[in-house]
Amino acid sequence: MKQDYDVLIVGGGLAGNCLALALQNSALKIAIAEANTQEQLHHSPAGDRALALANGTVRMLDALGIWSHAKALATPIKTIHISDQGHFGKTRLSAEKEGVAALGYVITARDLETVVAQLVEQAGIEQICPARVIGIASDEQHAHVSLKLLDASLNISARLVVGADGGQSTVRRLLEIDQAVTEYQQAAIVTTIKTELAHNNVAYERFTSSGPLALLPFKQDYAVVWTRTAEDAEQLLMDSDDEFLESLQACFGYKLGRFSLTAPRRSFPLSLIRATSMYSERVVIIGNAVHQLHPVAGQGFNLGLRDVVQLAEMLLNEAQKGGDIGAQALLEQYAQQRQKDHDTVVNFTDSVVKLFSNQWLSLAVARNSGLALLDIIPGAKKQLARYAMGLNSRMPHIGSRRRV
């Protein structure tokens, strides 16, 4: 039977395009199917969100040949200041003390998406766009995918289909993979502010009774990610700019002087969502199609890129051996290897949300004592810094297979 591709990637966002770039120099024949036009993707409101790229993530982007094109658009984080509103506990992480140029970087999703999309186009990777997946069926050798184009239908086959189509993944739905959902009854308000004092590349994570407030240095301003109860968030969006800024200043204080808004306010609900499986017969799902996290530690994209690089490394190894890149045993091995990283990050973010949103006196004392101790115990702080930099996980070696 005719085989159209070795790998069909469903989803032309960050995860899907990064995977395509990771596989581009192999003998594998790959294509990307994306439901939206490039113009729709570029103008999506989700592109405004600030991504906190961990140091380890930057290393992977560099190995994929992406970072040299994106670095000029990103702002380095050289210090992270962590505190708990109304309590004494605080700790600071420093790039200088960790011997790195930056603990991480901040870039808008749109800027990074644009860079990656341009590299995909320059590489000549085949793109089927706009094309919606309307059916998937698999046999022993191929996955068969039905696509709906603007004015036609297309049926194609591949040895492996990768669902990188985001939180509302059509691939996951067609495979009937369930999700485990934890609702936090919170919403994140995102915007950008200018401060009277320069940010000096310092990021702030301030925990409050209603959720964390993150200020991330972004160009000359700060990107704000403010977690509140769903009811509070609704009110804050309805408030005037002055009323909103007054509330934000009351939460953060005047360490950076007065704030002024430089972007609209947006809000989105927060929950922890995990797929109950990462694969089916000749199909695997990655990134937000598998996991959606609370933004408290900025781990969502970082975790998703590790999915991408781990999968690419395994596919390249298998292809080099002449093996079957869509074999059930390989997909099962991939899922097992990713499970530990997923569990670690999910449990960490979920625990932080619950610990720092709880005002019981005993917990408040414990967490503030913990923050204070972190600031004076070098070993504990170093471990936290490695976690913040995304260096607690195994670093794949995919870069050695790429042309530089």
Domain boundaries along the sequence of the chain: 5-75+104-181+272-357
Residue type at position 219? K
Nearest alpha carbon to residue 270 among 318, 325, 321, 227: 227
Q: Which pLDDT does position 404 carry in this prediction? A: 24
Q: Which pLDDT does position 56 carry in this prediction? A: 87
Q: How far apart are CA 219 and CA 76, in angstroms?
A: 9
In order along its 404 residues, the chain shows pLDDT tens digits of 456 999 999 999 999 999 999 999 999 999 999 999 888 887 887 778 889 898 889 999 999 999 999 999 999 999 988 887 655 456 788 888 888 899 899 999 999 999 999 999 999 999 999 999 999 999 999 999 999 998 899 999 999 999 999 999 999 999 999 999 888 888 889 999 999 999 999 999 887 776 788 899 999 999 998 989 889 999 999 999 999 999 999 999 999 999 999 999 998 888 888 999 999 999 999 999 999 876 655 578 889 999 999 999 999 999 999 999 999 999 999 999 999 999 888 877 766 666 555 443 333 334 344 444 445 445 544 554 454 555 555 555 565 433 32
Does residue 282 sit in helix, strand or coil? coil
Residue 13: other Cβ atoms inside 10 A:
23
Task: State the fold for domain 5-75+104-181+272-357.
Answer: FAD/NAD(P)-binding domain (3.50.50)
Residue in the block written with tokens 């994140």: 188
- Please give the structure tokens belonging to residue 69: 């094109």
For strands 179-195 and 259-261, give the pairing: antiparallel
Report yes or no: 302 and 349 within 8 Å, Cβ to Cβ.
Answer: no
Query: Helix/strand/coil (H, E, C) string of 312-329?
Result: HHHHHHHHHCCCCCCCHH
Give the helix ranges, DSSP H, for 86-128.
95-98, 109-122
Residue type at position 114? T
Residue in the block written with tokens 């925990």: 207
Burial 111-131 (b: 16+ CB within 10 A, else e): bbbbbbbebbeeeebebbbbb
Compute the half-sphere exposure of residue 70: CA atoms within 13 Å on the CB side of its CA: 31
Report yes or no: 146 and 155 within 8 Å, Cβ to Cβ.
Answer: yes
Strand ranges (E), 179-295: 179-195, 202-208, 211-218, 221-229, 259-261, 266-275, 279-280, 283-285, 291-292
Give CA separation, 39 vs 15, 78, 108, 131, 400, in Å.
18, 34, 17, 14, 34
Apex 59 CA angle, 188 and 346, nearest 5 = 40
Give CA separation, 59 vs 317, 330, 344, 354, in Å.
20, 26, 20, 31
Could you read off the pLDDT of 189-243 as tens digits, one per residue? 999 999 999 999 999 988 777 678 889 999 999 999 898 988 999 999 999 999 9
Q: How far apart are CA 36 and CA 209, in angstroms?
A: 39
Q: Which pLDDT does position 89 carry in this prediction? A: 55
Q: Which pLDDT does position 105 carry in this prediction? A: 94
Residue type at position 42? H
Q: How far apart are CA 57 and CA 59, in angstroms?
A: 5
Backbone angles phi, psi at 206, to 5 degrees: -115, 120
pTM of the predicted model as reported, rounded to 2 decimal places: 0.87
Could you read off the pLDDT of 274-296 as tens digits, one per residue? 999 999 999 999 999 999 876 65
Q: How far apart are CA 112 and CA 201, in angstroms?
A: 20
Q: Which pLDDT does position 370 carry in this prediction? A: 41
- Please give the structure tokens belonging to residue 264: 């609209």
